[in-house]
Amino acid sequence: MSNRLIIFRCFFVTMPSCSLSEALEIRYVEDIDANPIEPCEIFLVGSFPGRSSPSGRLVLPRTLTLNCCNIDRAGVLRKIDELCHDVEELDLAQNSLNDLNEIDNILQHMPNLSFLNLSYNDMKNAITEKLTERENLRSLVLNCTYIPWSIVCNFLDAMPNLQELHLSLNDYSYVDLPSNKQYKNLKQLYICGNSLSSWNDVILIGKTFPNLESLIMANTQIPSIPEPSTWENLFQRLQTINFNYMLLSDWKDIDRLNHFKKLEDIRLQGIPILDSLSELERRQHLIAYLPSVIRLNGSAILQKEREDAERAFIRYFLSEQERPKRFYELEEIHGKLDPLVDVDLSPKKTAQVFVHFCEEQSTLTVNLQQSVQELKATLSDKFGLRPAKMRLFYIDQDMKDVCGPDELRYNNRKLYSYQIRDGDEFLVDSK
């Protein structure tokens, strides 16, 4: 269930509360009763609506989505067991579930469930309860539930094979996981949009989830990364990091990211240290500082880009009094480089040209940023010939003996695209 993008959008309508079994009856059973079908062979793919099996038993899809139904309890357990025995993914986002006993009742009667989404169920007042162990659960989404850490631990204890956990937008100001317990099967943690402000929270995450491979931790208040000696041995398998909009303001913080030994994919957008750089310089500096990373902000880093970025990094600091340690490391690789010659490669803005109309010849300074249509308007004022009745030809002084005049047929084309230079000519003719 990795790389699942979870988005919630629904219209809030005041609805009476109901149980899961009632919501299932309304969503699926009443549809079948109203539209009975003849016995036939049915193949269910994805989350198609429920259908009757040849025996007359209702068969629900393996993926159930029941958002915004105001579900607050399990309901008739026999009905859940009958309808949901084969369900593998259950999305109950934006309901009213906050009682762990009711959630446990639901889980007990879905033995094949591997994915559960409880986002936007307000669970801040949930009471700690021991949950029945569910070995099949692999992915749990608890975004914007305000769920206490003690309840998070209840879920972790009951789901020993959990691999993916979402805890974003829960208004956490700190991580409160037990320091003496580890959950070794968790590989992906999403904990974005919380007011975490200390790297100690990252350290505790590393201690609790020692086999973490992906840490998505954007939009936090963490201001810096301390010396790696206190944490580098905690993340032996971490490959992917998202630290977007973390408050990192020193390049030493970026350099310390290299102590995530397996790191190869990172997102670092919106951090203060990048504010003074252009978009290209931001990417080049990050590539230069992170030699083991092969993917930055969602884009692969090819070998040619890395070499160019590292050379650009060296040249960036050639005129600086203070140079980072990374400058000298890259100079050992690429040698001492000369500054690039500052050559203006931008197109010329104007040109002095000759204009011929009938027997008349004149000299004109043309703005090469304007279009053919705009030049025709200028010539119309000069020669009294409406643009709609005008044909305009361009004569390249070096090519006129080879190919002659070139009619400018495309009114929106910019003049600089014709490589016009001083001394070239225009021929004006009437249609």
In this structure, are strands 299-300 and 295-296 parallel, antiparallel, or unpaired?
A: antiparallel
The lowest-confidence range among 251-260, 291-300, 305-314, 358-367 is: 358-367
Distance in angstroms (rounded) separating the CA atoms of residues 271 and 250: 10
Residue 224 pLDDT class (50, 70, 90 cuts) = very high
Residue 125 pLDDT class (50, 70, 90 cuts) = very high
Do 192 and 256 belong to one domain? yes
Distance in angstroms (rounded) separating the CA atoms of residues 158 and 165: 13
Strand ordering across the sheet containing 265-267: 63-65, 89-91, 115-117, 139-141, 164-166, 188-190, 214-216, 240-242, 265-267, 295-296, 299-300
Q: Which residues contact 66 (CB under 8 A, 6 or more apart)?
A: 20, 23, 24, 27, 90, 91, 92, 95
DSSP string, 220-234: --------GGGTGGG
What pLDDT score was predicted for residue 41? 31
Domain count, the chain: 2
Residue 252 pLDDT class (50, 70, 90 cuts) = very high
Kindly state the average pLDDT of the residues 241-251: 97
Q: How big is the CA angle at 413 (ends 411 and 417), to the nearest 5 degrees?
A: 145
Contact in structure between 223 and 197 (CB atoms under 8 Å)? yes
Do 318 and 368 belong to one domain? no
Beta-bridge partner residues of 353: 364
Do 163 and 195 belong to one domain? yes
Specify the DSSP class assigned to residue 367: E
Q: Is residue 7 part of a domain?
A: no
Contact in structure between 362 and 398 (CB atoms under 8 Å)? no
What pLDDT score was predicted for residue 414? 87
Task: Extract the tokens encoding 76.
Answer: 């008739």
Q: Is residue 252 part of a domain?
A: yes
Distance in angstroms (rounded) separating the CA atoms of residues 360 and 168: 75
Task: Extract the tokens encoding 139.
Answer: 């992915």
Q: Which residues contact 85 (CB under 8 A, 6 or more apart)?
A: 109, 110, 111, 112
Q: Which H helix or E strand runs over 152?
A: helix 149-158
Contact in structure between 167 and 173 (CB atoms under 8 Å)? no
Spatial CA neighbour of 103 closest among 67, 66, 130: 130
Specify the DSSP class assigned to residue 192: -
Q: Tell me the three state secondary structure of residue 140.
A: strand
Q: At which of 306, 333, 360 does a domain end?
A: 333
Do 136 and 162 belong to one domain? yes
Q: Which residues contact 118 (CB under 8 A, 6 or more apart)?
A: 92, 93, 97, 103, 140, 141, 142, 145
For residue 123, is pLDDT > 60? yes
Report percent pLDDT > 70 for the chain: 87
Mean of the per-residue pLDDT values of the chain: 88
The CATH number that applies at residue 128 is: 3.80.10.10
Do 318 and 365 belong to one domain? no
Distance in angstroms (rounded) separating the CA atoms of residues 330 and 290: 12
Do 265 and 372 belong to one domain? no
What pLDDT score was predicted for residue 15? 64
Do 88 and 221 belong to one domain? yes
Distance in angstroms (rounded) separating the CA atoms of residues 294 and 262: 11
What pLDDT score was predicted for residue 57? 57
Do 222 and 354 belong to one domain? no
Q: Is residue 36 part of a domain?
A: no
Beta-bridge partner residues of 63: 89
Q: Is residue 49 part of a domain?
A: no
What pLDDT score was predicted for residue 30? 59
For residue 46, is pLDDT > 50? no
Residue 416 pLDDT class (50, 70, 90 cuts) = confident
Q: Is residue 339 part of a domain?
A: no
55 vs 428, more confident: 428
173 CB-side CA count, 13 A: 0
What pLDDT score was predicted for residue 383? 87
Q: Is residue 300 part of a domain?
A: yes
Q: At which of 300, 333, 366 does a domain end?
A: 333
For residue 228, is pLDDT > 90? yes
For residue 52, is pLDDT > 70? no
Do 67 and 99 belong to one domain? yes
The C-alpha torsion from 327 through 330 and 336 to 340, rounded to 10°, is: -80
Distance in angstroms (rounded) separating the CA atoms of residues 88 and 107: 11
Do 298 and 382 belong to one domain? no
What pLDDT score was predicted for residue 7? 42
Kindly state the average pLDDT of the residues 396-424: 85
Contact in structure between 248 and 273 (CB atoms under 8 Å)? yes
Q: At which of 304, 333, 362 does a domain end?
A: 333
Which residue shows structure tokens 């000069």? 382
Distance in angstroms (rounded) separating the CA atoms of residues 362 and 364: 7
The CATH number that applies at residue 371 is: 3.10.20.90
Which residue shows structure tokens 């979870």? 6
Do 291 and 378 belong to one domain? no
For residue 42, is pLDDT > 80? no
Q: Is residue 344 part of a domain?
A: no
176 vs 359, more confident: 176
For residue 341, is pLDDT > 90? no
CA quadruple 226, 227, 229, 233: dihedral sign: positive
Distance in angstroms (rounded) separating the CA atoms of residues 320 and 360: 58
Do 358 and 292 belong to one domain? no
Of the chain, the end-to-end C-alpha distance in Å amounts to 67
Domain that includes residue 278, residue range: 18-29+57-333
Kindly state the average pLDDT of the residues 13-31: 79
For residue 375, is pLDDT > 90? yes
Contact in structure between 274 and 248 (CB atoms under 8 Å)? no
Q: Is residue 356 part of a domain?
A: yes
Q: Tell me the three state secondary structure of residue 199.
A: helix
